Amino acid sequence: MRLLTHNMLSCNIKGVTNGFPLKLEADKWVTKEVDLNADFLRGVFPKIEWSALVAAARVLGFAELPEQADASMLSSNDFLRRFHHALLELHVEEGALVCPETGRKFPINKGIPNMLLHEDEV
Amino acid sequence: MEHLHEMELASTSEGRKEPQKIFMSPESMPKIAKIQLVSSHPEVYEPCDDSFLLVDALLADRSNLINQNPKFCLEIGCGSGYVITSLALILSQYCPGTQFYATDINLHATHTTLQTSANHGVHVEVVATDIALSLQKRLQKSIDVLVINPPYVPTPEDEVGADGIVASWAGGFQGRIVIDRILNVVDELLSVNGLIYMVALSENDPYDICQVMREKGFGSRIALQRSTEEERLCVIKFWRERETSEDGERADNVSSLNGWLGKVPFINSLRKKGNENNNS
pLDDT tens by residue, A57-87: 999 999 999 999 999 999 999 999 999 999 9
Domains of chain A (ranges plus CATH)? 3-116 (2.20.25.10)
Closest C-alpha among B109, B97, B94, B120 to residue B36: B120
B229 lies in a domain?
yes
The stretch B25-38 carries a mean pLDDT of 82
Residue B2 counted as domain residue: no
- Cα–Cα distance for residue pair A62/A84, rounded to 1 Å: 12
Residues of B in contact with A92 (CB under 8 A): none
Q: Is A111–B126 a contact, with Cβ atoms under 8 angstroms apart?
A: yes
Q: Quote the pLDDT of residue B25.
A: 58
Contacts of B135 in chain A (CB under 8 A): 8-9
pLDDT for res B3? 39
Q: Is A14 on the interface with B (CB under 8 A)?
A: no
For residue B1, tell me if it sits in a domain: no
Q: How far B48 CA lies from chain A's nearest CA (Å)? A: 25
Total domains present in chain B: 1
Task: Assess if residue B9 is contained within a domain.
Answer: no
Looking up residue B156, the CATH number of its domain turns out to be 3.40.50.150
- Look at residue B20 and tell me if it is in a domain: no
**What pLDDT, on the 0 to 100 scale, is given for residue B30?**
76
* Model confidence band, residue B23 (pLDDT cutoffs 50, 70, 90): low
Judging by DSSP bridges, how do beta strands B190-201 and B143-148 pair with one another? parallel
Whether ipTM tops 0.95, in short, is yes
Find out whether B125 and B138 touch, Cβ atoms under 8 Å: no
Domain, as residue range, for B226: 31-279
